[in-house]
Chains A and B, each alone.
Chain A
Amino acid sequence: MATSLALYSTLEFAANPGRPVTAAEIAAKYGVSLHHLSKVLADLARAGLLDSVRGVGGGYRFAGNPKRLTLLDVIELFEQTVESGNGNGERNEVETALAQVLSEIDEITKATFGSITIETMLKLVEKHRNAGSPVAEKMQR
């Protein structure tokens, strides 16, 4: 849940560069717990992806580089990604074979998330918005 909130929030802030956005605004837009979201935003700020803006009209502002920041960078702030390899301890042949298949999936997943930048995601959102996707329209509001 925290990872999904982080991804939605990062895209939301990156789509509004320079404009402070409050946690309440995002929580209302996506129908999520403000308490839970606030913790996620604090973690993103600690990682340097958001700047805190104090005072009236305050909130958070995107501080990352959308051309460089990838989905994997955001995910890894909240989840421990699995390293490929044989793991610890001895495995029998069934476990080894299954681990090989799971490792293949992990590597593809990692390559996918690691190659999609926030800027690329914003282009994709725009494409869906132009095609009339309700989710993309939600991001615009």
Chain B
Amino acid sequence: MTSADLKDTTAIVIRPVEAADLGQVIAIDAESTGIQKTDYWYELFHRFGTGHSRQRLFLVAESEGTIQGFIIGEVRDWEFGSPSCGWVFAIDVRPGARLAGLGTKLFDSICAGFRHAGVDTVRTQVSRDNNLMLSFVRSQGMMAAPVITLEMSLD
């Protein structure tokens, strides 16, 4: 399916991930990153995909039985001294299904989940080289957070 087929995004259902979706989720991630991380995704499913917690969200976008994209996030309390806020740490859409508003639908859905969990701020972290993702989150209205991520080599 291409983005041209997905112009009518009302046919898209955003719902919590199910175990049967994992194969397609892994394939979408592998297509984007070039790395097949099967164990990692099963671990994420067990931590985020069971739907038992309002604090942890693992959502997929489904169209006629095909998983077109996913988003994962959680509410983190007092991380680095910051009041509770939602963190989005993974989002992806099949390359052929992009530019049809799916990413926005996924993002809106997880934000609704975060609001339901009682937080009013959402954060994410993007590599400054990843212009595609930076442009996407900017287009959703995200601005630089009042924190700076720092690192150093331990060599």
Contact = CB atoms under 8 A, between A and B. Distances in A.
B131 A114 contact: yes
Interface in A78-124: 107-108, 111-112, 114-117, 119-120, 123-124
Nearest to B135: A115
Contact of A119 (B131, B134, B139, B144): B139
Nearest to A124: B141
Contact of A117 (B128, B129, B138, B141): B138
Interface string A22-42: 000000000000000000000
Contacts of A70: 135
B144 A117 contact: no
A46 interface: no
Given A107-B128, A108-B128, A120 B134 contact: no
B141 A123 contact: yes
B134 A115 contact: yes
Interface in B11-26: none
Contacts of B128: 107-108, 111
A127 B131 contact: no
Interface residues of B, number: 9
A120 B138 contact: yes
A138 to B, nearest CB: 21
Contacts of B141: 123-124, 127
Contacts of B138: 115-117, 120
A123 B134 contact: no
A20 to B, nearest CB: 28
Nearest to A117: B135
Nearest to A123: B141
B144 A120 contact: no
Interface in B128-155: 128-129, 131, 134-135, 138-139, 141, 144
Contacts of B144: 112
A116 to B, nearest CB: 5
20 contacts: A70-B135, A107-B128, A108-B128, A111-B129, A111-B131, A111-B134, A112-B144, A114-B134, A115-B134, A115-B135, A115-B138, A116-B135, A116-B138, A117-B135, A117-B138, A117-B139, A120-B138, A120-B139, A123-B141, A127-B141
Q: Which 6 residue pairs across A and B have the least CB separation, nearest first?
A: A115-B134, A111-B128, A115-B135, A120-B139, A120-B138, A115-B138
Interface of B: 128-129, 131, 134-135, 138-139, 141, 144
Interface of A: 70, 107-108, 111-112, 114-117, 119-120, 123-124, 127
